[in-house]
Amino acid sequence: MQSGEQFSRSGSRVDPWRGHYAARAAGMVASEVRALFAVASRPEIVSLAGGMPNVSALPMDAIGALMAELVAERGPVALQYGSAQGDPGLRETICRVMAAEGIDGHPDDVVVTVGSQQALDLVTRVFVDPGDTVVTEAPTYVTAIGVFAAYQANIVHVAMDEAGVVPEALAETFARLEREGRPAKLFYTVPTFQNPAGVTLSAERRPRVVEVCRRAGVLLVEDNPYGLLHLDGDEPMRALRADAPDDVIYLGSFSKTLAPGLRVGWALAPAAVREKLVLAAESAMLSHSVFNQLAVDRYLRTQPWPEQMKDFRAMYRERRGVMLDALEKYMPPGVAWTRPAGGFFVWVTLPEGLDSKAMLPRAVQSRVAYVPGTGFYADGGGRQAMRLSYCYPPPERIRDGVRLLADVIGAELRM
Ligand code: PMP
């Protein structure tokens, strides 16, 4: 049996179902990141591309023991169907986790999801009709673009600087869209340690952004998988949701703070919205993996997770330092980059005239990979930029990778 490119038994490469797809399937295209993974995962290549957390730092023996206990003690529950809203005990634990960011959430308003990616899908399914406008930062999370495109949204970007989205630009964008007869429905933002730009919305701008959305009647979706990975200072940022419970849908995840393979995330939503999300979740998947939810809950209740988070932060802090030092040391003049206060990502802007996408094959040949900036824009922007991640490779590989990349950029400049 062959699969992949070959679509039919006769060996034709023409998809026999091509006339049958729903219009929305046209918006479903492989992300640049996915296409890269196959290449970047070759061992000889230093990948500064993927945003994978370093799960090998987890206590594997303790996780194995905990899963065995779970089966022994609660097997019939853990292996049964569960509710579409998620396990009540886990929802309480999630509220305790969110309290660190100033959120006073009620477990009834939490909907557990298959990673925060599913939460984003459910929110979009519930709010966005084809042609509806979703406003996002520029650049923005690549797979959020994927979700919005799959629901045939009209994606509009708004400018960001080193202090996050610019409230005045957001207000102007909303006003312009209103005038053009295509008002914004959602504002999707990753305000803290943004993927991909590594910038954080300043404390001063936070209430202004919430107010701009409130005035325009636009629902704010705060996607915050990196909030507890603050690398400067002891306290996490206060979430937008903390001061605007009626205006914000907050999306959270255990993917970066525990393990993405467990696929446990959540949405915290105003009560009426939460009801819709539960119905949408029910039709999408009936029930979550109860086993994974109970495993996460047990882990957080029994393991020294806050201490582990300190260790994770120390590990990522070291890696960030290595990347920023190497950028400073090796990059040719004219290259600029962000200095993230947390999370996994640095956004690099190349000198005028360079094209990160065109340069990628030459970088891979030189054994280093990154994600070209274009993947993070819905409008073709980002050619002069790239995302680098410091989360996964060990420090010495990060240093080597940045040096190799600097050489590739240097060679491009001389071309
Ligand atoms: N939002 C952002 C900004 C992300 O970076 C990611 C993961 N890369 C997700 C959502 C989805 O994460 P998960 O589904 O694993 O919770």
Distance CA 326, CA 398 (A): 8
Q: What is the mean pLDDT of residues 194-198?
A: 98
What does the pLDDT average to over 25-29?
81
| Four-residue CA torsion sign, 402, 46, 197, 346 | negative
- How far does the centroid of ligand 1 lie from the alpha carbon of residue 263, in Å? 10
Whether the per-residue pLDDT at 4 is higher than 70: the answer is no
In contact, 152 and 124? CB cutoff 8 Å = no
Other Cβ atoms within 10 Å of 30 Cβ, number: 9
Supply angle C-alpha 399, 404, 408, rounded to 5: 145
pLDDT in tens, 93-120: 999 999 999 999 999 999 999 999 999 9
Shortest-distance Cα residue to atom 13 of ligand 1: 115
Using 50, 70 and 90 to split pLDDT, how confident is the model at 79? very high
Tell how far the Cα of 117 is from the centroid of ligand 1, in angstroms: 6
Task: Say how far apart CA 251 and CA 123 lie, in whole Å.
Answer: 10
Q: Are 122 and 113 in contact (CB under 8 A)?
A: yes
pLDDT for 307 beyond 70? yes
Neighbours of 11 (CB within 10 A): 9
Q: Which residues contact 382 (CB under 8 A, 6 or more apart)?
A: 139, 356, 372, 373, 374, 375, 376
CA–CA dist 120, 113 (Å, integer): 9
ipTM over 0.90: yes
Separation of alpha carbons 106 and 407, rounded Å: 52
> For the residues 153-171, what does the mean pLDDT come to?
97
Mean pLDDT taken over the chain = 94
Q: Is the pLDDT of residue 33 over 70?
A: no
User: Which residue CA neighbors atom 8 of ligand 1 most closely?
Assistant: 51
For ligand 1, mutation pick of 34, 141, 226, 345 (most atoms within 8 Å of CB): 141
Average pLDDT over residues 278-283: 96
- Give Cα 209 distance to the centre of its chain: 20
Question: Residue 1: which pLDDT band, with cuts at 50, 70 and 90?
Answer: very low
pLDDT above 70 for 260:
yes
**Range of lowest pLDDT (11-15, 21-25, 29-33):** 29-33
Q: Which of 136, 223, 391 to mutate for ligand 1's pocket (most ligand atoms within 8 Å of CB)?
A: 223
Is residue 29 very low, low, confident or very high in pLDDT (cuts 50, 70, 90)?
A: confident
Predicted confidence (pLDDT) at residue 342 exceeds the cutoff of 70: yes
Q: What is the DSSP letter of 378?
A: S
Cα–Cα distance list, 163 to 92, 180, 201, 220, 300 (Å)? 33, 28, 5, 18, 33
Q: Give the total residue count for the chain.
A: 415
